Amino acid sequence: MKKLLIAFCLLVLCACGKEKSVLLPEIQNTKITEITDVSPAYLFYDETKPDSLELNKNNLIISTNWLVNVDKRLTLKQVIPSIIKLQEKKRNSDHKNKNVRNYFTCNATSIKNLGFVDFTDVVYDYEREDKDGKIEPENTIFIVVLNLNKIIVYPLDKDDFETNINDFETNLKESLPVNNEKVNVKLSFNEILSFQDYITLKYKLSQLNLENTTINNHEYIIN
């Protein structure tokens, strides 16, 4: 398939003939700027509906890379149930291709073009995590994102503290062990967080060069 070109504000001609748009979330940069063999899904922001959400997935082909285009104004409460269903559809299919991936489409502002965030291996859950570490791997740091101005970090052997997106990198690095212990970072996100803010935090984490640190692919959505 030829390279897919999409405008920053995605315009989609639906089956009914009505043109709809998706305002994509913005990130500064991304390592992934081109994907071939793709099929798209769209999560529209619709003010005329009680839940403000409309999912268009008619063009998805199991054996291809999926580009999931989510309007940045939607909340995780609105978005995640649809994302889980899409993931399960591909994971449970008899025709799945283990070499294809799932990506969120974003505007990469530094290159003024599209960028893509891989979420293939992310598992979303609504159960609360056990901060006592009884059911989590050892050396787990919990990060609870209520909003970008209120991010709570539960470090190892230290008191929890509150930070914001601007100081997040510095404060997180300071909370890590100094003895090169391997650390597992577990993320929880407030369900009312906008998809834009979710992508912002995920992008921030992807840019951190944290030695001996693994970002757990199991993410919790909390209320």
Average pLDDT over residues 120-149: 79
Predicted pLDDT at 133: 42
Average pLDDT over residues 195-214: 91
Predicted pLDDT at 13: 45
Which residue is associated with the tokens 């149930």?
81
Give pLDDT tens digits for 143-193.
999 999 999 999 988 899 999 999 999 999 888 888 878 899 999 999 999
| Average pLDDT over the chain, rounded to an integer | 86
Q: Is 98 or 26 the better-scoring residue by pLDDT?
A: 26
Per-residue confidence at 46, pLDDT binned at 50, 70, 90? confident
Q: Provide DSSP, 162-190.
A: EE-TTTHHHHHHHHS-SS---EEEEEEEE
Per-residue confidence at 212, pLDDT binned at 50, 70, 90? confident
Per-residue confidence at 3, pLDDT binned at 50, 70, 90? very low
Please say if the pLDDT value at position 116 is more than 50: yes
Q: Which residues contact 116 (CB under 8 A, 6 or more apart)?
A: 30, 32, 33, 35, 67, 103, 104, 105, 106
Most confident region among 1-10, 127-136, 187-196, 203-212 by mean pLDDT = 187-196
Q: Is 25 or 52 the better-scoring residue by pLDDT?
A: 25
Per-residue confidence at 47, pLDDT binned at 50, 70, 90? confident
Predicted pLDDT at 137: 66
Residues 217 and 121 sit within 8 Å (Cβ to Cβ): yes
